[in-house]
Structure 1
Amino acid sequence: MSTLTPPAQVDIVEVAPRDGFQSIREPLPTADKIRCIQALIDAGLTRIEIGSFVSPKAIPQMADIGEIVAHFAERPGMRFSALVPNLKGAELALAGGIRELVFVVSVSESHNRSNVRQSVADSLAGLANIAEKLRELGERDVRLRLDLGTSFDCPYEGRIDWRQVDAVLDGARNATQGIELEVALCDTTGRATPYQVAEHFTRLKERHGESRLRWAFHGHDTYGMGVANALFAVHHGATALDAATAGLGGCPFAPGATGNTATEDLIYALHGGQVHTGVDLARLLDAADLIAALPGGQTASHLRHVPRDRVG
């Protein structure tokens, strides 16, 4: 009987300050956002998607991103990333001190048009513009990450075959030649199953496996598969996992897809396999309570409702 050996370490990318806060309609006080982010840092999270540099008209919740980034400047050991929708957003993020840029392209044409009002080809052209800017700057400490939305399922087109993901990833790699890239396969609707996750990572790693390419997984827990999918992703090549403390957020353009995978649920599973995450689960649960108390948010966490003396 074979034993499934867990990896020694996994990067946890906390996305509540961007994907989570963005899901709340009414703007939150900046001080409340800062308090929540500090609680996440205090829990030991070192990779945090802190927000997005988008037009305040498009997403009012992100209007204070500059102030938030400035507050957390010069934090040794922290990796703050920000979503950027275009070259202008990338330039603003870099000027604000962000050294990790996140760019999103949906594999599904219809979802990409709904999400960013562009064709997939146009989005890839935008990615190429950002990559060219990074080459011009020659800054080797800037990281680029590509989130491939609807990598498993689309709310408009249904199940996504791994070959569709492969075609978009081919275009993205052509656009970013010479730049190290982290690629996140995103289960936008939460409808992926562990076996589909395993197939996608296995097939795509066979096609694109090389040292300059790193892999991540971003899951939702809409169908209760969030933690299972993340574990299958790790055992098939992912070295980073996205999650949102308290399970805050989801995709506003994917009907029914509320609820990111809760960071605390994922950490509990990983710690059960002695996987190092650097996260203090008790302090993370304190942060989860703080986030769950924000007005207007939708949260979905299992561990937060377990008596605290039963956790650990």
Structure 2
Amino acid sequence: MPDTGFPPPHGFVEICEAGTRDGLQIEATIIPTAEKIALVDAMLDSGIRHVEVTSFVSPRAVPQMADAEEVLRGIRKRPDTNLMALVPNLRGAERAVTTPVDGGVLLISASETHNRKNLNRSIDESLAAFPAVAARLRDGGKEVLGAVAVAFGCPFEGEVSLDGIIRIGRAYAALGVTQMTLGDTTGMAAPNNVRRTLRGLRAALPGMQFTMHLHNTRGVGLANVLVSLDEGVRRFDAAAGGLGGCPFAAGATGNICTEDLVYLLDESGWTTGVDLDQSIAVAKRMEALLGRTLPGQVMRAGPRLRLHAANAVPTAAG
């Protein structure tokens, strides 16, 4: 960590890399399985320990995730590696338990319309299906986590009900789930509703730990990170280069950038265990693989104290 002159680090913040799942799921070009495996291996080399690798969803709905089993079997796992996958239904759980994945993430939306668009079922139907999915994952030795999409606003319905999210959180808690991801699926989170939502959920669900899954659709993703840190959150999803978006949500754009998040946390006195230069290299690898410019900023500028030769730029004349 650079010497910033700030007090000693405030503590450890876990970064969960979602680039090969939420990042690639919206891409029309199918990325070869070997390239996905190489990307995850490079993420782990950078110091990332939690990776949401893929989704066990219908290949017809999300063709990019059709090779979920092959990708998970090809990754060079380490003792401290935690590989996760989205498991939205019982069929997905049946597939997941045949792989080296460490845990499955159950998913539901905070709005009825998005749940039907994303999962093709009602909220009540999703909740009713969760016990069987969780039981199958646990029978297969897998951890069970929960996630709530559009937790800070729905592109179809607008504001979402805090009571509705609490209801979902209580359903997760009843299944023994202790880690719940709050998804800002289309970047509708802003500091005020992040603070309000987290405080309301903490009061109603005191035993639950929260992961923030933030998108930078409206340019305030990292501002929302700072508010979340103030509210006690210590785990954040991010995607290399700022890639990502939900194919079933209007206006969806990329996640907060992994390397931008590492930079912010490092420079603010937090510990992540992630090497910034290697994180930048992963983002550039992702960019080269996709053949287009990604929105990450730190991957362009580099660390704050990366210096340049004076003759690298012209001298002002006159």
More divergent stretch after superposition (164-173 vs 278-287): 164-173
Aligned residues of 2:97 and 2:137 also touching (Cα < 8 A): no
Q: Establish whether residue 55 from structure 1 lines up as the match of residue 66 from structure 2.
A: no
The answer for the alignment partner of 1:295 in structure 2 is: 290
Q: Establish whether residue 181 from structure 1 lines up as the match of residue 184 from structure 2.
A: no
Write the distance in 1 (CA, Å) between the matches of 2:261 and 2:105: 22
Unaligned stretches of 5+ residues in structure 1: none
Write the distance in 1 (CA, Å) between the matches of 2:7 and 2:157: 35
| TM-score for the superposition, normalised by structure 2 | 0.89
Write the distance in 2 (CA, Å) between the matches of 1:40 and 1:32: 12
Question: Which letter does structure 2 place at the counterpart of 1:206?
Answer: A
1:223 to 215, 218, 224: 218
More divergent stretch after superposition (125-134 vs 225-234): 125-134
Query: What's the CA shift for 1:133?
Result: 2.8
CA RMSD of aligned residues (A): 2.2
Query: What's the CA shift for 1:227?
Result: 0.9
The answer for the alignment partner of 2:43 in structure 1 is: 40
The answer for the alignment partner of 2:312 in structure 1 is: none
Query: For residues 98-247 of structure 1, what are the structure 2 equivalents within 5 Å?
Result: 98-134=101-137, 137=139, 139=141, 142-174=142-174, 176=175, 179-210=176-207, 213-247=208-242
Change over 3 Å in CA distance of 1:66–1:198 after alignment to 2: same
Change over 3 Å in CA distance of 1:160–1:4 after alignment to 2: farther
Query: What's the CA shift for 1:162?
Result: 2.1
Query: What's the CA shift for 1:242?
Result: 0.3
Query: What's the CA shift for 1:74?
Result: 4.2
Change over 3 Å in CA distance of 1:203–1:297 after alignment to 2: farther
Change over 3 Å in CA distance of 1:85–1:195 after alignment to 2: same
Unaligned stretches of 5+ residues in structure 2: 1-5, 308-318
Write the distance in 2 (CA, Å) between the matches of 1:258 and 1:130: 29
Q: How many residues align?
A: 302
Question: Which letter does structure 1 place at the counterpart of 2:47?
Answer: G
Write the distance in 2 (CA, Å) between the matches of 1:127 and 1:229: 30
Write the distance in 2 (CA, Å) between the matches of 1:5 and 1:116: 45
Change over 3 Å in CA distance of 1:183–1:310 after alignment to 2: same
| TM-score for the superposition, normalised by structure 1 | 0.90
Write the distance in 2 (CA, Å) between the matches of 1:166 and 1:224: 27
The answer for the alignment partner of 1:28 in structure 2 is: 31
Change over 3 Å in CA distance of 1:285–1:153 after alignment to 2: same
Aligned residues of 1:6 and 1:235 also touching (Cα < 8 A): no
More divergent stretch after superposition (159-168 vs 146-155): 159-168
Deviations 1:39-85 (A, max 9, x none): 11111101001111122222111121111111125422100001112
Identity across matched positions, percent: 37
Write the distance in 1 (CA, Å) between the matches of 2:159 and 2:181: 18
Query: What's the CA shift for 1:164?
Result: 2.7
Change over 3 Å in CA distance of 1:308–1:240 after alignment to 2: closer
SS in 2 for 1:23: coil
The answer for the alignment partner of 1:278 in structure 2 is: 273
Write the distance in 1 (CA, Å) between the matches of 2:83 and 2:182: 20
Aligned residues of 1:24 and 1:296 also touching (Cα < 8 A): no
Change over 3 Å in CA distance of 1:180–1:116 after alignment to 2: closer
Deviations 1:188-218 (A, max 9, x none): 11021112111111111011112xx221100
SS in 2 for 1:153: coil
Write the distance in 2 (CA, Å) between the matches of 1:73 and 1:31: 12
Write the distance in 2 (CA, Å) between the matches of 1:79 and 1:14: 11
Q: Who wins on radius of gyration, i.e. which is larger? A: 2
Q: Establish whether residue 94 from structure 1 lines up as the match of residue 97 from structure 2.
A: yes
Query: What's the CA shift for 1:295?
Result: 2.5
Aligned residues of 1:250 and 1:257 also touching (Cα < 8 A): yes
Aligned residues of 1:246 and 1:291 also touching (Cα < 8 A): yes
SS in 1 for 2:263: helix
Question: Which letter does structure 1 place at the counterpart of 2:211?
Answer: A
Question: Which letter does structure 1 place at the counterpart of 2:149?
Answer: G
